[in-house]
Amino acid sequence: MKINEVTEAGVDYETNPQHKKLADIGRALMTHSETASMKGKDDNAIRMYNQMSSLGNILTKFGTTWGPKNLQDVMKETELDAATIKSLLGFGEKLAAQKKAPAPVAQDEPEDDEFAAPDDDEVARQADARAAKRK
């Protein structure tokens, strides 16, 4: 194997596709909890967002050398029960799926004719015509 084959392929620290999926779910949970407005939320709702963030952080480490290897490890690290983890995983999976959906293609706005300028060829023709009239 040559070095350019390795560098062009990119780094893949997450060799297990299931671990990568869990990491994607974890990132989606963390992003959601970070960007949610806490205005008007009660303590229970805020606690849920904190749990979401904590679980998301642990999921990004799942299967790594020092990360959790199973559900019991995740429960120990996050201090969440299995039912809460399952519920948050389901929610995170929906969030991750939305993130992977292709973004709608932005449509260019039609150009305003009022501000339209002639192209370079037209400017050159006009300059040549004016120069010919002066001779």
Tens digit of pLDDT per residue, the chain (135 long)? Answer: 455 554 455 555 546 888 889 999 999 999 999 998 888 999 999 999 999 999 999 999 988 888 899 999 999 999 999 999 999 999 999 999 887 655 556 666 666 565 667 778 888 888 888 888 876
Place of tokens 């995170």: 92
Single-letter code of the amino acid located at 114: E
Residues 49 and 38 sit within 8 Å (Cβ to Cβ)? yes
Q: CA–CA separation, 41 vs 66, rounded Å? A: 35
What confidence score (pLDDT) does residue 63 get?
85
Angle between helices 71-78 and 82-100 (to 10 degrees): 100
What confidence score (pLDDT) does residue 82 get?
92
What confidence score (pLDDT) does residue 1 get?
43
Residue 23 buriedness (CB in 10 A; 0-12 / 13-18 / 19+): buried
